[in-house]
Each structure stands twice: as structure tokens, then as C-alpha cells.
Amino acid sequence: MATNDLQEMAKATLGNNINLLVYTGGCKQWRTNGISNSVNQIYKVENGSITRLVEDDGKDSLVKPATLTRFIQYCTKNYPANRQALIFWDHGGGSISGYGYDEKNASLGSMGLSGINAALKNAGTKFDFIGFDACLMATLETGLMLNDYADYMIASEETEPGIGWYYTNWLSKLSADSSMPTIEIGKNIVDDFVSECNRRCAGQKTTLSVVDLAELSQTVPASLKSFAAGTSKLLSGSDYKAVSDARSSTREFASSSKIDQVDLVHLCYNLGTGESETLAKTLLGAVKYNKTSSSISNAYGLSIFFPYQRTSYVKNAVSTYDSIGLDSEYSRCIQQFATLETGGQQGYGSGGLDVSGLLGGLSGTADTGSVDFGSLLGSLLGGRSLDLDVNTASQMLENNRFDSTKLNSWTTEKGHKLMKLAPEDWEQVHSLQLNVFYDDGDGLINLGLDNQYSFTKDGALLGEYDCTWVAIGTQDTASGSASNVQPVMFNYQDALVEGNVMTTTGTVPILLNDKLANLVVVFEDDLSSGTTRNAYVIGVRYDYGTPSGEDAVPNAEAKIAELQDGDSIQFVADYYTRDGEFQDSYKIGETISYHLLNAEDKLDAEGHERPDFVPVGNLVVGYTDMSALQDKLIASYLFTDIYHNEYWTLPLINSVN
């Protein structure tokens, strides 16, 4: 991916008024001839090629702040200029994880915001703009931290397509007019990026925004403080549910990684308070330009960390906020929310998936009985007040509870298996998904989650499963028919409805050339006819995991890469023994090979990959009928409540037409 972007830079028309310097490292294998796989180097892009300036800059990790400082100081000393810009190229993880993943120093994780802050402070340079050609870095926290070092930030809220920014056009335009206003440079970068991604990366969620950091720093902190204080007032009263409802329905980025990064404007709209409306207006004023692909909605240009899926990251977030000088009011707000959510989890939690319930034993969702929330909250607060009244909070928790015992039984009416819940029960439910398992005799293979469910006209949940599931196979180039079709583990992420078309995105875990990764899959369904119009793999994302340790945070999120001709794909799934013991990843089906059906069009006459190349692969995606295996299939609905507790129903009927 870096090689392709370097080629785009080299194709730009650059005059003597532009010095384009590139620091390389952190990669085990470069595809650009001459770039070292063992040491860091510095290059200058000029005259259609790249020229090496520094042969050996050592082996320091590229996620070490000192490495970044050293590069900036080298540039300003050896290539002084009237205007400066800095671009971070690699993976990104937003406010919690920060920037970068050095393949040769994987144990170091990423460079967090506090590390970036230290590096830029030590470098002592002010930039026209700082950009992130990396995933998830368009956060409010990043923007406020960068204010002392740049006029503008250019970054993406969502994970980036692997092709990254398209460098040729905007660099050529800048060289032709080096006095171009920075906002115009930013607009050119955004327009080129989104246009190229729309053309070459169909179905991918593309976002990029230009943020005025001076306006952001002058207007947003006061509004954010009022927003946090107003939200804290709701939490310290009895309106945790209102905040939780707003958070759960807000556009979330990299949701499968559970980094809890959401669009802040959308969160403000969903919360609907006076303070949140003011903050939304202020944020939109600071975001000077924002563009997205049609496959994503409610992405207004800046995200923020707000806990919900994984409250354990709050400690790390608060530490980061302290180091970059973010107002403590927001830290208190998210700590309050996390404390109340954790109270609901410890008081009402189901304890996770109970295999015995699916196999016909006790369901594992029994009534937990009376809970002493006063003592529970006292232990969670650990002597801190956080402006939470224990008695008020305890009463709130007691009044907002999903009665999971109602999932222990189904009723049968007119030959249909039904579950009837009262409106007040549904108000405690945030999500509902279908979870399918395969019983191999020794345990259960988890085939994942999908947004498939049906209700009767009177609002009862239908407890029947049609024995179809997501499957992937290969297309025969000669006949065009599909072969090697096999069910896979599919994990639903989100769905976007526009008119009569619903676009659903999910991931499929695989071993890609023996490395853990996820295929990213898209379904386009026609709601008027109930049929799937199109289904395809849009790319692959490597799974870099999470460093070990109590306070460890996930590594940066990998960009969505293109599959390469000859890639080996082995599907994997989660496996549980009949005793309920999780056995990690389990290989399912046969290994298949990915091939480009138009591989001959990939390279130009000089042997370089064409920038306009759109790969057409041999993978076929759809739903397969598994009715022949219905006696071994177990389907259950997964309910998630307002505290992000998860509960599974007793198995559905496998109803085959």
C-alpha cells in the first residue's frame, strides 16, 4: 500500500518550490526497489522518482516519539521552507490507540496521543496542516491536542480503504500554486481521496474531513464542558437510560474492534439536550470540509471516545486526557457513565454465552434476584464521588432492568413459535441479532451473528429459523458457476437503509496466508422484493490484536487491503466444548485460493501497478441452504440491554419450507 502511494507521489508534477520528504521504516518487506527492510531511511520524491537522502537512520521504532521528532528536525534543518505540512501514513486507532503499527516492533503497540504531543512539542515546528493517511484519527481529542502545532487537521473518522489518499493531483496543484490557501489544499485532498475510493473501493465506508484547529480550540472546549456537565446531570439523576439509548444509536466507527469511538455531532443530535445542540453547532463550524462515501451515514467530521462496548478503556482515556490537557468535566462524565454501566453489568449480567442452555439444559438467563446496588456502586466508586449519589443511582438501576427470565420460554400459536414482550421490556433492549451454531457432536461451532429476525403483525418475535446462512465460495472462470461453497462465521457490523436498498456490512474471520485477518463483506438487499441484489468481499483487514497487560489498549486498526492473486484463505470460527469451554479459533471448511480474474490488467507497461486498476476476484458471497443439516443447527436470538449485557434465548425452531 505504501509502494502504491509512493508511486502516486512520484507521478505528481513537482517544481523546485516543493520539497517532498518521506521517512520509511517499520515494514518487514518493501515492494519498492531500494527501500531497506532492515533500517529506517529518508527519501526525497522528485522528478518522477525517489532519491535516498539518508542511507541508515537506525532501527528505532516508528511509533517512538523520538523518531518522529528526529525526522521533523532533519527536514526543517536541511530543507527550510515558508510553509510546512506533516502527514502520518500507516494504520491508526484514534483517541485510545493513537497512530501507527511498527511490524518489526509489534510489542510497542502504537504511538498514543500523548506520545504524538510530546514528539511535536520537542520538534518545535508549526505546520499549515497535519494529516493522517491512517484510520480513525479524526477525533476531537486529536484535534484539540494538535492545536499548538498546526492550523488544520485532515483525517478520517472511519477505517480507511487501503489505497489511502490519492497523492498525484493535489501535489501537482500545490506545486503549481504554492501560495494556495491551506483550506483549498485540504479540499483537494478530500475530493481526490473520496473520488478514488468511490471508484476503486465500492462498498467501503470512506470519510475525510478538514478541521480548523484554531476555531476548534477557541470554540469547542467551552461547549464540550457544558455538554459534559449537562450529560453528567442526567447521569447523576435518573436518566442513565436516555444517555445509553443515545450512545447505542450513534454512528460508531470500527465497531468490531470495540474501541468506542462515535461521531460526536450524531451523539449530540441523539441526546437532544440544549447543551448537546450547542456543541453540535460549534463542531460543525470548526469542520470546514467533510466528505463521505454513500455507504456511510451520520459521519459529520469529528468523533470522540464514549464508552459503551468496553468500559475498561476509560482509565486509559482519562490518562490521555490529563496528558493533553482536555478539560476534566468530560473525563468525569464518561467515568460516571462507565460506573453506572458496570453496575448494571455486575448486577444483572448474564455472564456471557451459556452453551448448556443452547444444548437443552438451563438457559443461564435466570433472575439474579435482589442486588445490593448501594454496596456495589460503593465498591465501583472506590471512595470517589464523581458527583453520583449512591441512593439515586441505586434506584435508577433497580428501575431499569431487562427481565431476562422472559427469554426462557416460547409460546406456540397457530403453529408458530412466538415470544411476546411488553413495551417496557423492549425499552430495555438495544439490539437483537440472530446467532447460529453448528453442533459437531463434541461441541458448538459459532457461525456468528446476523441482523435477521421477524415480528408478527401484533409485535411478537417469531422464533423460527429457515436454515440459511452466509457462505463463501469461488467462481469458476470457465463456466462462471460457484464451487467450494461453504458456510462461514459472519459477524454483523451495521446496516444502512436508503430508499428500498439496505446495505449490510459484516466481517468473516480467516487465516490469510496463515495470518489472522477478517474479510469485509457487503450485502445489498432490495427491501421491496426481499431479495439480495449484490453481495461481495470489499477487502481484508489484518487483526493485530491487543498487547498483553492489565492496561493494554488495542493496536491501531489496519486499513482495508486488497486481496492479492494467489492468497490462501482458511475460514475459522469460535468453538465451544459441550462443557462451555471456549477453544479459540477452529478451522472450518477447505482452504481456498484467491485469484484475480483480470490479473493481466493489473500492471502497466513498466511493470507498476496501475492506479486505476480495480481487482475482480473469484470469491462468491451469498446465503446457502443448510436444511440438510438442520438437526445439527442451533439458532438463538441474542438480546443486548442498556448496560450492554448479552442474553441468549432458548433455541429457535428450525423451520424449513
Which tens digit of pLDDT belongs to each residue from 387-410? 888 999 999 999 999 998 888 889
Rounded CA gap, 338 and 8, in Å?
A: 45
Is the pLDDT at 368 greater than 60, yes or no? no
pLDDT of residue 167: 97
pLDDT of residue 351: 66
In a domain, residue 564? The reply is: yes
Rounded CA gap, 135 and 137, in Å?
A: 6
Boundary of a domain, candidates 314, 332, 350: 332
pLDDT of residue 148: 96
pLDDT of residue 238: 85
For 432-485, write each residue's pLDDT tens digit. 999 999 999 999 999 999 999 999 999 999 999 999 999 999 987 666 678 889
Average pLDDT over residues 505-519: 96
pLDDT of residue 165: 97
- Cβ count near 604 (within 10 Å): 12
Rounded CA gap, 373 and 611, in Å?
A: 60
Rounded CA gap, 539 and 562, in Å?
A: 5
Q: What is the DSSP string of 277-328?
A: HHHHHHHHHHEEEEEE-TT--S--S-EEE--SS-GGGHHHHHHHHHHHT--H
For 21-53, write each residue's pLDDT tens digit. 999 999 998 888 889 999 999 999 998 899 999
Instruction: Answer for the pair 368, 362: CB distance below 8 angstroms, yes or no.
Output: no
In a domain, residue 354? The reply is: no
In a domain, residue 402? The reply is: no
In a domain, residue 273? The reply is: yes
Q: Which residues pair with 87 in a beta bridge?
A: 131
Boundary of a domain, candidates 332, 352, 380: 332
Check whether residue 504 and residue 649 sit in a common domain: yes
pLDDT of residue 64: 97
Check whether residue 296 and residue 423 sit in a common domain: no
- Cβ count near 49 (within 10 Å): 10
The burial class, CB within 10 Å (0-12 / 13-18 / 19+), for 195 is middle
Residue with cell 438501576: 397
Number of H helices, E strands in the chain: 17, 29
pLDDT of residue 369: 61
Rounded CA gap, 49 and 11, in Å?
A: 8
Which phi and psi angles does 255 have, rounded to 5°?
-60, -30
In a domain, residue 381? The reply is: no
Check whether residue 60 and residue 201 sit in a common domain: yes
Is the pLDDT at 365 greater than 60, yes or no? no
**Owning domain of residue 523:** 414-654
In a domain, residue 216? The reply is: yes
For 7-20, write each residue's pLDDT tens digit. 999 999 999 999 99
Helix (H, G, I), strand (E, B) or coil at 504: strand
Helix axis angle for 373-381 and 390-399, nearest 10°, is: 120
Average pLDDT over residues 486-495: 95
Is the pLDDT at 108 greater than 60, yes or no? yes
Is the pLDDT at 363 greater than 50, yes or no? no
For residue 600, is it left (φ>0), alpha (ψ between -120 and 50) or beta? alpha
Is the pLDDT at 366 greater than 50, yes or no? no
Is the pLDDT at 572 greater than 80, yes or no? yes
pLDDT of residue 350: 65
Number of folded domains that form the chain: 2
Residue length of the chain: 657
Check whether residue 446 and residue 583 sit in a common domain: yes
pLDDT of residue 364: 43
Average pLDDT over residues 270-275: 97
What's at 626, amino acid-wise? M
pLDDT of residue 632: 95
Going by their DSSP bridges, the two strands 464-465 and 653-654 should be labelled as parallel
In a domain, residue 463? The reply is: yes
Which phi and psi angles does 491 have, rounded to 5°?
-115, 105
Check whether residue 316 and residue 203 sit in a common domain: yes
Q: Which residues pair with 157 in a beta bridge?
A: none
pLDDT of residue 352: 73
Going by their DSSP bridges, the two strands 287-292 and 515-526 should be labelled as unpaired
Check whether residue 316 and residue 443 sit in a common domain: no
Is the pLDDT at 611 greater than 70, yes or no? no
Q: What is the DSSP string of 210-222?
A: EEEHHHHHHHHHH
In a domain, residue 230? The reply is: yes
Of 63, 559, 494, 100, the C-alpha closest to 299 is 494
Share of the chain above pLDDT 70, in %: 96
Residue with cell 492473486: 565
Check whether residue 148 and residue 250 sit in a common domain: yes
Check whether residue 24 and residue 120 sit in a common domain: yes
- pTM for the full model? 0.94
Is the pLDDT at 520 greater than 80, yes or no? yes
The rounded mean pLDDT for the chain is 92
pLDDT of residue 279: 98
Average pLDDT over residues 635-640: 95
Which phi and psi angles does 624 have, rounded to 5°?
-115, 150
For 213-223, write each residue's pLDDT tens digit. 999 999 999 99
Is the pLDDT at 657 greater than 60, yes or no? no
Boundary of a domain, candidates 332, 353, 385: 332
Is the pLDDT at 522 greater than 50, yes or no? yes
For 221-249, write each residue's pLDDT tens digit. 999 999 999 999 999 988 999 999 999 99
Check whether residue 275 and residue 173 sit in a common domain: yes
Check whether residue 324 and residue 438 sit in a common domain: no
pLDDT grade, residue 504 (50/70/90)? very high
pLDDT of residue 548: 67
